[in-house]
């Protein structure tokens, strides 16, 4: 039976994830905005809570981005990531929410994220997501 959705007391618990407000990711001016270079941020101690079991999820998050006008400020990024510790969120949603919030704050030229979660029940989850600005069509 493929594509079956979990329908239990957990329905609707992830509905507000995209609108969830977490601590702000602050930025500082990139004095090398004329250069195309990449920054890799490794967050080896990510954790959140499984919304189904209430058990902790542990993982490693790596963000790779090409700064534009702004660079991400590390202390605020750490405070942002720490806010997930008590948050019930599916691993796939966590990875996409982090990237979405990072892009909104930093406005990079491009960004990618890999979240590698510790195995649970014999299954290791790796979520990869990326963002690039949409190209304008010729008629636009």
**Candidate list 11, 34, 36, 50, residue with the active-site label:** 50
Question: Which DSSP string corresponds to 12-26?
Answer: TTTTTGGG-------
| Residue in 11, 15, 57, 129 annotated catalytic | 57
- Measured distance CA(108)–CA(111) in Å, rounded: 7
- Residue 92, sorted as left (phi over 0), alpha (psi -120 to 50) or beta, turns out to be alpha
34 carries an active-site annotation: no
Dihedral angle, C-alpha 133, 109, 36, 25, nearest 10 °? -170
57 is catalytic: yes
Distance, in Å, from the CA atom of 91 to the CA atom of 113, rounded to the nearest integer, reads 13
Catalytic site residues?
Answer: 50, 57
């Amino acid at each position: 039976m493929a594509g079956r959705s979990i329908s239990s007391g957990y329905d609707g618990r992830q509905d507000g994830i995209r609108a969830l407000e977490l601590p702000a990711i602050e930025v500082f001016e990139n004095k090398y905005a004329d250069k195309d270079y990449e920054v890799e941020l490794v967050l080896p101690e990510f954790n959140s809570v499984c919304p189904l079991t209430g058990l902790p999820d542990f993982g490693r998050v790596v963000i790779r981005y090409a700064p534009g006008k702004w660079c991400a400020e590390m202390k605020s990024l750490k405070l942002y990531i720490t806010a997930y510790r008590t948050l019930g969120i599916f691993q796939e949603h966590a990875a996409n929410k982090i990237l979405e919030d990072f892009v909104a704050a930093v406005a990079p030229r491009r960004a990618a994220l890999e979240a590698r979660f510790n195995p649970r029940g014999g299954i290791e989850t790796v979520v990869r997501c990326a963002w690039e600005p949409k190209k304008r069509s010729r008629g636009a």
